[in-house]
Amino acid sequence: MRKKSSQARNNRAKIKPKLAVWKFASCDGCQLSLLDCEDELLGIAEIIEIANFAEASRHVLPGPYDLSLVEGSITTSHDADRIKDVRNQSRHLVTIGACATSGGVQALRNYAREEEYRKYVYAQPDYISALATSTPISNHVKVDFELQGCPINKTQLLEVISAFLHGRKPNINSYSECVDCKLDGNVCVMVAHGTPCLGPITHAGCGSICPRFNRGCYGCYGPQDSSNPRALGDWMVSMKRASPDFVSRSLQTYYTGNKTFHEASEDFQKNREKAEALGETESLVGRDTDREDTNRKDT
Amino acid sequence: MSSDSEIKIKAGIRPGAQSGLKTRTIKVDYLARVEGEGSLYIRTKGQEIEEVQFKIFEPPRYFEALLRGRDLTEACDITSRICGICPIAYQMSAVQAMESALGIELTNEICELRRLIFCGEWIESHTLHVYMLHAPDFLGFEDAITMAKKYPKVVSQGLQLKKIGNDLMKLVGGREIHPINVKVGGFYKLPDPSQLRKMLEPLKQARDIAAETVRFVANLEFPDFERDYEFVSFFHPKEYPINSGRIISNRGLDIEVPSYLDHFQELHVARSNALHSVLKERGEYLVGPLARYFHNEARLPENVRECARDINFEVKDCRNPFKSIIVRSLEILFACEESLRIIEAYSARGPAFVNYEVKAGIGHGCTEAPRGLLYHRYEIGSDGKIKEAKIIPPTSQNQKTIESDLFEVVRHYFSSSENELRHRCEQTVRNYDPCISCATHFLKIEREDANP
Ligand code: SF4
Ligand code: SF4
């Protein structure tokens, strides 16, 4: 028996699983999380062959790859083709971050006219070729797991890598931010200070950093599994914690490509317009945005 | 997919070209260890290079367009998503612009803390570049991981240094990528002085590692290559500039931030998704560590200057772009020193933020990102919503200069082997630590040669 296991070890030492990291429209932040694993990086490289990671290395091994990490959203037709190629070469494909999982903040173009955006930014809009939308990877190919966050959490990233390499399901909690926030023993900013907080509808994973810094969660980890943004928004508006405009904008940022967030956001947008037509803006703007916290003495 | 080291040299008459013209193509797919996709086109006639074009293909994300209609408090977090490698620079330029539009005066303590978190970013970003992206070039390794086999101590020290920069950003900002604590008027919460003081020991270690880094990179082999740049950076009479100063150059530019757009202009070059920024009067210029050091060397702490003297590094050496790795290392040392100074004097006396009233206005913000000046301009309506946004990142300012560097490098290494030439061209681009968030990395060199 002992002999067998040492043989297995030898085999393992010879053939290391191959990891590839791919980038689409993004800020590089999620893949940087891997390089930010300063304590683990050299150890990871011992057991995994970093076979294709352009930001870090010139060394490129041909596919297939055991695990592909994909950052960024699809915004050009060239990228729409490229992701298919990546999928074909990958045994497992995991998206990392809001861009890859939901289209990212650049998905705001999906509700505007891409052409108008293009004209606003570029003097020669004809030189630019891009799709009218920014879409998540799962709209284009099969995805084996989606790791949320803008940016992702590096401990969760290590868990995902190790889970896939051991053929098990990643152990990532899908409950809301509020759960972690309570476990961390934070003072609830919504209860104690009246600061609007998206914690109840947001996927846990960041370590409840905003409440820890006296700030309301702004939803950069996207929706938790059974998220109900309408109910939270209605409550915040009725309790004068936030204006419909604030709710609508908050839901329309890093996870604007998410259907639940976006549909709720449109409702609050309509509410705002209705209120404006009735001349109620004053009362509704009452507890708007972060500006309002500035009147509160910091603790 | 072809490997990054593939070189193809095609010789032959290009269809449709003037008779006698020969096309040679050097193709380098996936220019690695930069954040960008570019292609390079070089046309030569005999010994003369007729044209060099360095093109960037970055899928556009339209930040300036999508910021319109957002609240002025949101620009800080949204623009940080332009770049995960220098989010603090984006946050700082954004809040500064809003503060200037609203007429907010910050307390000294808030200014110092902002400088501190920026130092964290300089340490992190510069160390990433020096150890993981640039040093392997000089030493002939594919990446830092293979370099670690030959230089285990060097690489693990580099990682340690990088981590200390990240820890600093995390303590002040909440997390290292897209921190959450910066807001218009100050911070959401002041860091706890006793927590910050725990960084003193690690920072002292970081300072030692940084000094060693300077000595290590000084011993690399540098090509004998110089250019007469127009260096553009902040100048500050009292400090090595990060968050404030006048914008100056060695050719007479001397302006305040709000008149930035009177002097600089962005050009949109065909078939490229990036905008080139030029000085209206004179064209290309250079921003970044070389320019900062060139203008502000005298304001570095004495031990940093001494460290530079020990390795015989002089201000005029800033003309060699390959030596940017030395200046980055000296700036890491400075950032460690500066962080120590700020933490030692810090006592969390003041308010975390300054109150303000919303009003309509125009605001400008400019800071020294690790890669150079980063300019933001916003027009705010009376409802606090952004009406117009303009962002000019350092890489678009350096793009024309990168092109000219490549032109000179090709001339310099004209007769060397294709391998050597390709390597030099890649390295030339990496000298700038270009941060062009984009899809793929692609450097293609085409040479058209008139010689039969
Ligand atoms: S999800 Fe956020 S951090 Fe990750 S690449 Fe996209 S913008 Fe950057
Ligand atoms: S502060 Fe936010 S995340 Fe924390 S418990 Fe309250 S609502 Fe939930």
pLDDT tens sequence across B50-104 = 766 666 666 778 898 999 999 999 999 999 999 898 999 999 999 999 999 999 9
- Buried/exposed B179-213: b ≥16 CB within 10 Å, e otherwise: bbbbbbbbbbbbbeeeebeebeebbeebbebbbbb
Q: Is the dihedral of CA A99, A200, A170, A261 positive or negative?
A: negative
pLDDT of res. A2: 45
How far is Cα of residue A66 from the mean position of the Cα atoms in its chain?
A: 23
Res. B15: pLDDT tops 70: no
pLDDT confidence of residue B44: 67
**Residue (of B88, B115, B95) closest to B176 by Cα position:** B88
- Statement: residue B226 has pLDDT above 50: yes
Is the predicted pLDDT of residue A23 greater than 50, yes or no? yes
Rounded distance, CA B49 to CA B43, Å?
6
CB B84 within 8 A of CB A28: yes
Closest chain A residue to B178 measured between Cα atoms? A151
pLDDT digits (tens, 9 = 90+) for A171-202: 999 999 999 999 999 999 999 999 999 999 99
Residue with tokens 């040492």: A6
Q: What is the pLDDT of residue B270?
A: 58
Q: Whole-angstrom distance between the N-terminal and C-terminal Cα of chain A?
A: 62
- Nearest residue in B to A33, CA atom: B177
- Report pLDDT for B138: 87
Q: How many CA atoms lie within 13 A of A235 on its CB side?
A: 14
User: H helices of chain A, where?
Assistant: 2-14, 29-35, 41-47, 77-88, 98-102, 114-121, 154-165, 177-183, 189-193, 209-212, 229-238, 244-251, 259-277, 281-285
Residue B43: what pLDDT?
67
Place of tokens 């640039």: B134
Q: What is the mean pLDDT of residues B294-312?
A: 97
Instruction: Decide the pairing of beta strands B372-380 and B361-369.
Output: antiparallel
Query: What is the spatial distance between Cα A91 and Cα B215, in angstroms, rounded to a whole number?
Result: 45
Which atom of ligand 2 lies nearest, measured to the CA of A208? 3
Secondary structure letter of residue A149 according to DSSP: -
CB-nearest to A210 from B60, B144, B180 is B180
CA dihedral defined by A66, A67, A72, A75, rounded to 10 degrees?
30
Q: In angstroms, rounded to a whole number, what is the distance separating the alpha carbons of residues B142 and B423?
A: 12
Please give the pLDDT value at position B272. Answer: 57
Model confidence pLDDT, tens digit, residues B243-269: 999 999 999 999 999 999 999 887 766
Confidence category of residue A289, pLDDT binned at 50, 70, 90: very low
Q: What is the DSSP string of A22-80?
A: EE-BS-SHHHHHHHT-TTTHHHHHHHSEEEEETTTBS----S-EEEEEEESBB-SHHHH
Give Cα B209 distance to the centre of its chain: 22
In terms of pLDDT, which residue wins out, B133 or B94?
B94
The CA distance from A20 to A25, in Å, is 17
Given a cut of 60, is residue B28 above it in pLDDT? no
Does residue A54 belong to the interface with chain B, where contact is any CB pair within 8 Å? yes
DSSP A111: G
Band (B425; pLDDT cuts 50, 70, 90)? confident
- CB proximity under 8 Å: A 195-214 to B: 206-207, 209-210, 212-214
Q: Which tokens belong to A80?
A: 């729409």
Q: CB of B264 within 8 A of CB of B273?
A: no
User: What distance in Å separates the CA atoms of residue B322 and residue A101, rounded to the nearest whole number?
Assistant: 39
| Cα-based torsion angle of the residue sequence A163, A164, A165, A171 in order, rounded to the nearest 10 degrees | 0
How do strand A145-147 and strand A90-96 relate by DSSP bridges?
A: parallel
**DSSP state at residue A210:** H
Q: What's the rounded Cα separation, in Å, for the pair B324 and B53?
A: 22
Write out residues with Cβ below 6 Å of ligand 1. A 26-27, 29-30, 71, 97-99, 104, 150-151; B 81, 84
Across all residues in chain B, what is the average pLDDT?
84
Handedness of CA B96, B99, B105, B110 (dihedral sign): negative
Interval A239-279: pLDDT, tens = 888 989 999 999 999 999 999 999 999 888 887 777 777 66
Most confidently modeled range among A132-146, B126-140, B143-157: A132-146
Both tokens of residue A228?
Answer: 């109900």
C-alpha angle with apex B191: B188 to B196, nearest 5 degrees? 160
Ligand 2 pocket check for A190: Cβ under 6 Å? yes
| pLDDT tier, A62 (very low <50, low <70, confident <90, very high otherwise) | confident
What's the pLDDT at B42? 66
Give pLDDT, residue B4: 25
Helices A259-277 and A244-251: crossing angle, nearest 10°? 160
What confidence score (pLDDT) does residue A117 get?
81
* pLDDT of B55: 64
Q: Which of residues 73-132 of A touch B (CB under 8 A)?
A: 75-76, 78-79, 82, 85, 104-106, 108-109, 112, 114, 116-118, 120-124, 127-128, 130
Query: Is the pLDDT reported for residue B34 higher than 70?
Result: no
Would you place residue B29 in the very low, low, confident or very high pLDDT band (cuts 50, 70, 90)?
very low
* Nearest partner of B129 among B208, B199, B217, B212, judged by Cα: B217
The predicted complex's ipTM stands at: 0.90
Pick from A57, A105, A289: CB nearest B78: A105
Contact present, B5 and A58 (Cβ < 8 Å)? yes
User: Which among A134, A150, A153 is the best mutation to test ligand 1's pocket, defined by most ligand atoms within 8 Å of the CB?
Assistant: A150
- Provide CB contacts within 8 A for B414, sequence distance 6+: B47, B421
B343's tokens: 């933490």
Which residue, A148, A157, A140, is CA-closest to A36? A157
User: Which ligand sits nearest to residue A191's alpha carbon?
Assistant: 2
Round to the nearest angstrom and report the end-to-end CA distance of chain B: 32
Region B274-282 average pLDDT: 76
Structure tokens at A88: 């074909």
Enumerate residues 6+ apart whose C-beta is below 8 A from B238. B299
Ligand 2 binding pocket includes A202 (Cβ within 6 Å): no
CA distance B233 to A240: 47
Least CB-CB distance to B439: which of A25, A104, A290?
A25
CA-nearest of B154, B153, B169 to B121 is: B169
What is the per-residue pLDDT for B134? 85
CB atoms near residue A289 (< 10 Å): 22
CA nearest ligand 1 atom 3, residue: A151
C-alpha distance from residue B329 to each of A174, B103, B167, B302, B439 (Å): 42, 36, 19, 16, 29
CA atoms in the 13 A half-sphere facing the CB of B70: 26
Query: Cα–Cα distance between B37 and B435 in angstroms, integer?
Result: 10
Write down the pLDDT at residue A225.
Answer: 86
| Alpha helix (H) residue ranges in B243-377 | 260-263, 289-296, 302-310, 324-345
Contacts of A34 in chain B (CB under 8 A): none
pLDDT of residue B212: 96
pLDDT classification of B436: cutoffs 50, 70, 90: very low
% of chain B with per-residue pLDDT over 90: 62
Q: What is the pLDDT of residue A123?
A: 65
